[in-house]
Amino acid sequence: MLDTVLPADPATSGVSLAGLLADRAARGDGPVFGFEFFPPRDEDGSRLLERSVAALEPLHPDFVSVTYGANGSNRDRTLAATKFMAATPFRTVGHLTCAAQSRDGISATIDAYAEAGITHILAVRGDMPGGPGVPWQQHPEGLANATELVRLVKSRGDFCVGVAAFPDPHPSTADPDLDARILVDKVGAGAEFAITQLFFRADDYFALVDRVRALGCDVPIIAGIMPVTSVNQVTKFAQLSGAEMPTVVSDRLHAVAGDADAVREVGAEIATELAVELLRGGAPGLQFFTQNRSVATREILARLLESRRW
């Protein structure tokens, strides 16, 4: 599977994502939109991914990305899914982490991306095997952090590199000012854009932007949004990412928790409201965490594009 190729759309190709962000900011042409997918675990997952990508194609996203599994078959599935994306009309961003990997292993993945024609990489430190609750430990032949990873990626080719940003404090430090300084360091190492972890309050995003701008850094920060399709799913995801779910959001979801269709509808309303507030406040773009399912993302983005309320 993962061999279905959609017809090329010249509107989404050519210029780098960093260039597109700069161009749209200069011309006032509006935000960029992107979708994040994860590598499928089996053939059924591959077919689901293909259907989701095809269903989102009419919305002409500006970029798509595929999350990264660092070890063994996980890494192979990541590369396969990213190569599949690279054969579609979409500007493709390959994820890369430095968790539990040697420098040589990371370099081999960077080179594999390059060989597949992938010129965008999202460089993040990543979690240890076992999840975010496992304390970070540098591989004895590896890299210490995402800043070093950015430098390595930039040293191996002409890549447009993005990095993670944290509207809610990173759970390992709980220090928003440190998060901002680290983001600025990553930009100094060569990063050209950032994408946030999921969050639920627009004010948290704008506070992050203010902290980064106060340090003299103007890197574009794309806001990451999770469309809620399951109360249990988003609660677990928020716990893993360190994002705090506001009571007003939790109450709206739990009020309809017994009705799956109502949960999806309320989730779409919450995400649309957040997206509108972010875009009105000047966010240069949005990335939707699709969880490899397209319905909720299609609904939210279609509402945004139809209303143009920003």
In a domain, 5, yes or no: no
- Residue 125: partners with Cβ closer than 8 Å, 6 or more residues away: 97, 98, 99, 136, 145, 146, 149, 164
pLDDT for position 202 = 96
Specify the range with the lowest mean pLDDT, choosing from 12-21, 23-32, 242-251: 242-251
Structural domain contains residue 197:
yes
Give residue 21's Cα distance to chain centre: 15
Q: Which token pair is 131?
A: 């999840």
Q: Which tens digit of pLDDT belongs to each residue from 210-268? A: 999 999 999 999 999 988 888 776 666 666 666 677 888 888 988 998 898 899 889 88
Q: Decide: 220 and 285 in contact? Cβ < 8 Å.
A: yes
Alpha-carbon distance 209 to 166, whole Å? 10
Residue 45 in any domain: the answer is yes
Which one of 36, 192, 277, 299 is the catalytic residue? 36
**The model's pTM:** 0.91
We report the CATH number of the domain holding residue 293 as 3.20.20.220
19-37 burial code (b ≥16 CB/10 A, e <16): ebbbebeeeeeebbbbbbb
Domain count, the chain: 1
Task: Encode pLDDT of 59-86 as tens digits.
Answer: 889 999 999 865 544 778 888 899 898 8
End-to-end CA distance of the chain: 39
140 lies in a domain? yes
Q: Note whether residue 19 is domain-resident.
A: yes
- Quick check: is 303 in a domain? yes
Average pLDDT, the chain: 87
pLDDT exceeds cutoff 80 at 1: no
163 domain-assigned = yes
- Asked whether the beta carbons of 6 and 88 are under 8 A apart, the reply is yes
Which pLDDT belongs to residue 7? 41
- In a domain? residue 281: yes
Residue 6 has what pLDDT? 40
Q: Are 119 and 125 in contact (CB under 8 A)?
A: no
Instruction: Tell me which residue range forms the domain holding 288.
Output: 10-307
Q: Is 36 a catalytic residue?
A: yes
Tens digit of pLDDT for each residue in 147-164?
A: 999 999 999 999 999 999
